[in-house]
Amino acid sequence: MAYELAPLPYDYAALEPYIDAVTMTLHHDKHHQTYVNNLNGAIEKHPELGKHTAEDLLRNINSVPEDIRTVVRNNGGGHVNHTMFWTIMKPGGGGEPVGRIAEQIRKDFGDFEAFKKQFNETTAKQFGSGWGWLLWDGGKLAITTTPNQDNPLLQGKYAILGNDVWEHAYYLKYQNRRPDYLAAWWNTVNWEEINKRFEQAQK
């Protein structure tokens, strides 16, 4: 297989009470695994693509053969998005941001509370399934959303952090209360990893 699902970097119950163990198990073992399986199935038709990372396939989506382009966009996106998602959360996470991302948030949004409010409000309004993102764009931080499993790499941008607002990410615990999930999610955030991604985004 060209692409593999990495194990979750912590226990399925490690993000309780903010994200429940059943949701984490289904989300990682079933949903993410399906994206990986579908991506591998598409690549079997064009094995030469298997030498590229999933990120590179998204960056160069218009070079992917047309017969598998939509499958790669959706499932490669799902794989890249979720691979990031598991790493930017951690047990005992959350709190105020630290490091360079903290300075940049203050510079671009005033303070962390103002940033969180804007991120949560923007992401809550994403119609249907999708993601909310923090990007490095033109020398400053920007908040945006994408539908489905679209990743900012499709537009040549690199996500510093992203939150999944597909219903499978929160419905068992929060039902239709997407804003409650968005507010609780900040208690899981791994700021060290986000600082690494911020550094990468600036390159």
Q: Indicate the pLDDT class of residue 62, thresholds 50, 70 and 90.
A: very high
158-194 pLDDT per residue, tens: 999 999 999 999 999 999 999 999 999 999 999 999 9
Instruction: Report the CATH fold assignment for 99-202.
Output: minor pseudopilin epsh fold (3.55.40)
Rounded to whole angstroms, the Cα distance separating 156 from 91 reads 31
72-84 pLDDT per residue, tens: 999 999 999 999 9
Nearest to 65 by CA among 40, 81, 43, 34: 43
Instruction: Kindly report the average pLDDT of the chain as a whole number.
Output: 97
Helix and strand numbers, DSSP H then E, in the chain: 10, 3
Nearest to 37 by CA among 69, 11, 8, 74: 74
The yes-or-no verdict on residue 152 having pLDDT over 90 is yes
Q: Indicate the pLDDT class of residue 106, thresholds 50, 70 and 90.
A: very high
pLDDT value for 1: 79
CATH annotation of 21-87: 1.10.287.990
Decide whether 21-87 matches 99-202 in CATH topology. Answer: no
Q: Which whole number is the average pLDDT over 41-62?
A: 97
Domain extents in the chain: 21-87, 99-202
What are the CA-CA distances from residue 174 to residues 20, 70, 75, 86, 108 (Å)? 10, 31, 25, 19, 31
pLDDT value for 60: 97
Give the pTM.
Answer: 0.97
